Amino acid sequence: MPTLFSRIIAREIPADIVYEDEHVVAFRDIDPKAPVHILIVPRQEIAGVAELPDSGDHQHLLNAARRIAEQEGLVDGYRLVINQGPGAGQTVDHLHMHLLGGRPLGWPPG
């Protein structure tokens, strides 16, 4: 079974896609936690950080994040988050990086 995010990448499920390249696809989170809340997803199906192979599409997540942050005009800063496992709130078992910005972001996160 393809993951929810693979179905978005395949355009089987609609999403507001803001960026894509040969390695990653990024779209707006359906339940945003900040004015800008984008999910950056490797095309390769990797369940999470705990299952990370040595190399693959996930190596391009950070560069995509930098490009998208510039595209979104996040000059004041932004936060990148990966939730690993249920204890950290991971709900979709397809590796994804949250890009959050557009408001002050408290530290430490909850």
Which of positions 46-75 make contact with ligand AMP (CB under 6 A)? none
Catalytic machinery residues: 96
Q: Give least dist CB 23 to ligand AMP, A.
A: 19
Question: 3-class DSSP state for residue 94?
Answer: coil
Contact 25, 13 (CB under 8 A): no
Q: Give least dist CB 70 to ligand AMP, A.
A: 22
3-class SS string, 28-52: ECCCCCCCEEEEEEECCCCCCHHHC
| Size of residue set near ligand AMP by CB under 6 A | 13
* Interface residues toward ligand AMP, by CB under 6 A: 4, 13, 15, 27, 29-31, 39, 83, 89-92
